[in-house]
Amino acid sequence: MSFCNQLASYAQRIWDESLGDLARSPLPELLDDFRRVWGDFKEFKTRCYGELPSGTYSYYESVFSIALLKLSVAIEDKVGGREVQDEYVRFAVEMFTPDEKNAIKELERFSGIDPRVTSPEVLADIIVSRRGEVYQLVKEAVGKQYVNLADVVESWSKVYRISDSIRRGLIVRYEARFRNVVEAVKRLLDQQPAWLKRLFSEYEEALLSSAEVRAEFERAFGEVYGKELATLRELVEVLERERSSLLDRLNALSERAASREAEARALEEELARLRREYEDLRGRYLETLKMWEDRARELESLRSKLAEKERELEEMARREGELTAAREALEAEVERLRSTVAEYERRAEEYRREKEELMLELRAMEDKVSTLERSLRGELKGHLVTAEEAAMLELLFVEKLRSKLKEVPVVFRTPWGEVSVSRWSYERVEYERLEQDVGVPRNASVVLGYRSRGLLGLGEERVIEVRGVYLSHVDTLKKQGFDSQPATLGDLLRILRNTLGTSGGGSRFTLIGIASPTGWDESAIKYAAGGEYSLVFRDAVVILVDLVKNEAIYPKSLPVPYMDRYARMFLPEVRADEEAYVERVIKDLCDEAKVKAPDNPVFLYRDLLERVRGVSALSLMRVMYRYREEKRIEVREIKGEKVVICRSTGGR
């Protein structure tokens, strides 16, 4: 308890100071005070909640709130209406509403009647004299019913934007100030009853009824704080669970960082290979360009010769009109030359088209080199998958999900209770891309729904819908043949807008699983796992799936029933025995290849497919992906045949 008292001591000092005293402090000093009080307040709520009696905790919470409000008003006065560039100054100024600031400014004006400044005896003498600034403050306080401060502040909170913590703090901080007026009036009633009744007859009832008002306020105050105390305890428990979850995720990220070095080496080799291919393509392009320029110069020369021949023939025709045979021969020569020119023009057009095709191929190769360079620098955070692998993962995800959902009954926790689905009302498969390209995914969505109308088929229609969405970068896969960019928060929000655009209220429950072959970036994971927001609602649950890692992403810290069961619906089944069998087959094939060619062990990919026949495609893909990342193997295509180059297949 002494630690909590010490935490609140600095805020208590600000609580006791007036706005006038704070206004004389320079802006940097006010900002330092604001940072310290704000930091102490956050630590107080974390460490002292449940340690102090509820009344003591509520009092200190009021002290912190009023201290921060006073500092905010003083900082705003220092800024003086100018545009604020400093983010922290803007945060301090905008923490409280204008109504809250106006309320404390109004009550601070009556510092002259505070019992620590003016005792009840002195205040009674001032009232008798009926002169001076303090006397005017007394009249104004009585006229505005501030002697019943609890009722006044309560009425303010119903009309203006004043939070509960500020409302309680204003009453706790300033009620004694106006009670001082009541005490002074009581003394005068004892000393000069007739005189004071004539002077304050219009205010007497309001002054003497403040005790009853305060008792009513304390009762309401206790009820409100009791409710908020329970809410804050629940909040502390939730925050503690989130802290544990964040620590687990931090450990996982540390382990992932250790594996980046191997990936970087693999990308360096791939980058070197693409650079060699790029230089070869660039050389062929320059050679073709030179040939095209030579043909263009030759064509221009032929055109000049043709023009000269035409002039000669015209001259000869005028001079030697009788030599018909010679003229026909020359005309035939001209026709031949024209045919030659047309042929060269056709070839020039072919060279031009070939040049444009090579330019497009060159740009595509430059894009691939650029992508791998960014991946080498660590700018690409996702899994590297080919278009063919992405299409296979899409087919596996859709078929596995449909198979699991048809294993009825399936139990769901909905807003209207627990529901067991034994038969689906409708089923459909939707595609983001209508056109179908071989070896490229179409971003399919499988949807199964169940409709019911309560007891005896009456009442409002209720719908349970399960939607599995496959999310890949189709344009990138189609253009480059591979993709390593993880799905982003923007991709996630686009799908949520399309699937959760209209809410069904209490009559609809939606379960959505969004699967990505390249994984998810950090912002999407934080968003879905509850780092910033939670995608677990009363009538909708959203789960992200990393297909290569076979991992479901959702806020595991939330005590939501059936979440683990929901997550397993969208995860394809991974069989460890199948993956171990694939690893043994690859090792055997590499051993056989090393016997045949120790310096360059290679085996055909179709031999691997033949030996692992009957193994699921997902198990084969996961092992091949893991071995490529660990630089154990390399897959290439040589003369139209896919081969596997053995690098290292030692024990993991």
Which pLDDT belongs to residue 545?
92
Contact 515, 397 (CB under 8 A): yes
Domain boundary among 167, 201, 225: 225
Burial of 30 from C-beta contacts in 10 A (0-12 / 13-18 / 19+): buried
Q: Does the residue 246 lie in any domain?
A: no
Q: Assess if residue 164 is contained within a domain.
A: yes
* 42 contacts: CB under 8 Å, gap ≥ 6: none
What pLDDT was estimated at residue 378?
43
Handedness of CA 622, 625, 630, 635 (dihedral sign): positive
Looking at the fold, whether 161 and 268 belong to one and the same domain comes out as: no
**How much is the mean pLDDT over the chain?**
79
Same domain, 548 and 599: no
For residue 192, the 8-state DSSP code is -
Residue 417, pLDDT > 70, answer: yes
Residue 61 pLDDT class (50, 70, 90 cuts): confident
Per-residue pLDDT, 624: 83
- The whole-angstrom separation of Cα 247 and Cα 531 is 12
Tokens of 526: 């934080």
On whether residue 501 sits in a domain, the answer given is: yes
Q: Which residues partner with 429 through β-bridges?
A: 446
Question: Can you tell me the distance from the alpha carbon of 545 to that of 395, in angstroms, rounded to the nearest whole number?
Answer: 15
Categorize the per-residue pLDDT at 301 as very low, low, confident or very high, splitting at 50, 70 and 90: confident
pLDDT tens digit string along 214-266?
455 456 546 655 665 677 677 777 777 777 777 777 777 767 767 777 777 78
Does residue 248 form part of some domain?
A: no
Half-sphere exposure of 513 (CA within 13 A, CB side): 29
Give yes or no: residues 431 and 548 share one domain: yes
Whether 444 and 564 map to the same domain: the answer is yes
pTM: 0.43
Do 535 and 438 lie in one domain? The reply is yes
Mean pLDDT calculated for residue range 466-476: 92
Of 576, 575, 554, 574, the C-alpha closest to 565 is: 554
pLDDT tens readout for residues 583-617: 999 999 999 999 988 888 999 988 998 999 888 87
CA distances from 351 to 284, 303, 362 (A): 13, 19, 16
For 429-455, the pLDDT digits (tens) are: 999 887 777 788 999 999 999 998 766
Q: 115: domain range?
A: 97-225
390 and 496 co-located in one domain: yes
118 plus 90 within the same structural domain = no
Question: For 30-58, how does the pLDDT look when each residue is reduced to its tens digit (9 = 90+)?
Answer: 889 999 989 998 888 888 888 888 888 88
- Do residues 446 and 402 make contact, with C-beta atoms less than 8 angstroms apart? yes
> What is the rounded distance in angstroms from the CA atom of residue 156 to the CA atom of residue 105?
14
Cα separation, 133 vs 110, in Å, equals 10
**Cα–Cα distance, 280 to 285 (Å, whole number):** 9
pLDDT of the residue at 558: 65
Q: What is the CA radius of gyration of the chain?
A: 41
Residues 292 and 358 in one domain: yes
Residue where one domain finishes, among candidates 206, 225, 244? 225
Enumerate the β-bridge partners of residue 451.
463
pLDDT number for residue 445 = 93
Structure token digits, residue 494? 């686009």
Instruction: Give the type of residue at 352.
Output: R
pLDDT recorded at residue 603: 92
Which of 129, 97, 265 has its CA nearest to residue 199?
129
Residue 213 has pLDDT above 50, yes or no: no
**Are 434 and 563 in a shared domain?**
yes
As a whole number of Å, the end-to-end CA separation of the chain is 54
Residue 596 token pair: 């045949």
Residue from 503, 495, 506, 559 nearest 530 by CA: 559
CB burial of 235-247 (b: ≥16 within 10 Å; e: otherwise) equals eeeeeeebeebee
In this structure, are residues 412 and 562 in contact, taking their beta carbons and an 8 Å threshold? yes
- Per-residue confidence at 127, pLDDT binned at 50, 70, 90? confident
Which of 132-136, 301-305, 578-582 is the least confident region? 132-136
CB count in 10 Å sphere of residue 366: 14
pLDDT band at 376 (very low <50, low <70, confident <90, very high): very low
* Per-residue tokens: 342: 């047309």
Q: Tokens 């154990």: give the residue.
A: 632
Q: For residue 504, is pLDDT > 60?
A: no
CA distance 95 to 252: 36
pLDDT the model gives residue 39 = 92
Tokens of 319: 């001079």
Most confident option among 21-25, 249-253, 320-324, 598-602: 598-602
| Same domain, residue pair 414 and 517 | yes
The percent of residues in the chain predicted with pLDDT above 70, rounded, is 84
Asked if the model's pLDDT at residue 466 lies above 90, the reply is: yes
Task: Report the sign of the C-alpha dihedral through residues 530, 534, 535, 539, in that order.
Answer: positive
State the sign of the Cα–Cα–Cα–Cα dihedral 47, 49, 52, 57: positive
Tell me the C-alpha to C-alpha distance, in Å, between residue 122 and each of 112, 114, 129, 132, 200. Answer: 11, 11, 11, 13, 18
pLDDT digits (tens, 9 = 90+) for 533-568: 566 677 888 899 988 888 888 887 666 667 888 888
- How much is the pLDDT for 479? 84
With a cut of 60, say whether residue 651 has pLDDT above it.
no
Q: How far apart are CA 45 and CA 40, in angstroms?
A: 9
The answer to whether 308 and 330 have CB atoms below 8 angstroms apart is: no
Which of 240-254, 419-433, 470-484 reaches the highest mean pLDDT? Answer: 419-433
Q: In whole angstroms, how far apart are CA 185 and each of 152, 367, 646?
A: 20, 87, 99
Q: Report the number of distinct structural domains present in the chain.
A: 5
Within a domain: residue 280?
A: yes
What gap in Å lies between CA 113 and CA 124, rounded to an integer? 11
Per-residue pLDDT, averaged over 616-624, amounts to 81
Residue 354's Cβ-side half-sphere holds a number of Cα atoms within 13 Å equal to: 16
Band (513; pLDDT cuts 50, 70, 90): very high
Q: Looking at the predicted structure, is the pLDDT value of residue 465 above 90?
A: yes
CA within 13 Å, CB half, 199: 17
In a domain, 364, yes or no: yes
Lowest mean pLDDT among 169-173, 397-401, 424-428, 605-609: 169-173
Between 503 and 90, the higher pLDDT residue: 90
Distance separating alpha carbons of residues 379 and 370, to the nearest angstrom? 11
**Residue 364 — pLDDT band, cuts 50, 70, 90?**
low
Domain end residue (candidates: 376, 394, 415): 376
Question: Same structural domain for residues 393 and 364?
Answer: no
Cα dihedral across residues 88, 94, 100, 101: positive or negative: positive
Q: Is the torsion defined by CA of 192, 193, 198, 202 positive or negative?
A: positive
249, part of any domain: no
The CA distance from 182 to 185, in Å, is: 5
The residue among 610 and 359 whose pLDDT is bigger is 610
In a domain, 594, yes or no: yes
Q: DSSP letters of 216-282? A: HHHHHHHHHHHHHHHHHHHHHHHHHHHHHHHHHHHHHHHHHHHTHHHHHHHHHHHHHHHHHHHHHHH
Residue type, 2: S
The per-residue b/e assignment along 46-64, b for 16 or more CB within 10 angstroms, e otherwise, is eebbeebeeeebbbbbbbb
- Bigger pLDDT: 135 vs 467: 467
Looking at the structure, do residues 202 and 78 belong to the same domain, yes or no?
no
Residue range 63-80, pLDDT digits in tens? 888 888 888 888 888 887
The distance from CA 23 to its chain's CA centroid, rounded to whole angstroms, is 41
* 202 pLDDT higher than 50: no
Q: Which amino acid is at 167?
A: R
Cβ atoms of residues 138 and 113 within 8 Å: yes
> CA distances (Å), 373 to each of 260, 270, 402, 479, 538, in order?
15, 10, 39, 17, 45
Instruction: Say if residue 135's pLDDT is above 80.
Output: no
Predicted pLDDT at 441: 92
- Which residues, including other chains, have CB under 8 Å from residue 46's CB and lie 6 or more apart? 236
Residue tagged 């930091």 (tokens): 39
Give mean pLDDT, residues 341-363. Answer: 82
State how far the alpha carbon of 332 is from the alpha carbons of 325, 336, 337, 338, 346, in Å. 11, 6, 9, 10, 21
For residue 607, the Cα-to-chain-centroid distance in whole angstroms is 44
